[in-house]
Amino acid sequence: MVKNTFGGNKHKCQARKFTNTKSSNKLRIAEEIGEIYCIVTHMLGNSMFYAHGIDNCKKLGFIRGKFSGRGKRDNIVEIGKWVLLGEREWDNKKEKSNEIMKCDLLEVYNDLDKERLKDTVPEKWEILMLQDDGKSAKDFNKNEELFEFSTQKEEECQKILDELADNKSKVIELKTNNENANDWINIDDI
């Protein structure tokens, strides 16, 4: 048994005996007919989520017990994550083709795994990249630039700076009545 020498709340649950290290850094790819790559589009309660598949169909995914509890640490399912889903053949009714396909979660991919998948597996990744949360976040930032938040003091300072920029410097010409004003002065004469 691991001895809790440092103490603290929930320190013992992070002990070495609970870590499940991956035996290898092997990338999990679709091996059978019912497995499909998807992107999570909407989180539901009760360990379920909606996903958009690479076949352009909407799927209802179920988070299995392997990915919840202690196994959740490295396998967090959230909107925009790429996942591998396995079709529930025993739960899907063949008569209703309009119904959303029910699938089990098999793998959650991180950003490095996404790049490795794109390089190794020949699929239509554009479908998932269009649904990707990163793309919509860039569009959101473009729309966010339309609004500018500032305080009243900052607005007053900006108004003063704009007025100073608008007032162009005026050239002041000095005219003298002296006839020799336009003559050059030679330093040697002095």
- Which domains are seen in the chain, by residue range? 27-132 (2.40.50.140)
* Strand-pair category, 58-62 with 48-53: antiparallel
Question: Which spans in 17-75 are helix H?
Answer: none
Q: What is the pLDDT of residues 132-164, one digit of tens each?
A: 755 544 444 555 566 677 888 888 888 888 888
Q: Is the pTM of this model over 0.75?
A: no
Under the phi-then-psi rule, with left for phi > 0, alpha for psi from -120 to 50, and beta for the rest, what region is 7?
left
**Residue given tokens 């396909």 in the structure block:** 101
Strands (E), the chain: 35-43, 48-53, 58-62, 82-87, 101-109
Q: CA angle 8-9-15, nearest 5°?
A: 80
pLDDT in tens, 85-142: 999 888 766 555 567 889 999 999 988 888 899 889 888 888 888 887 555 444 445 5
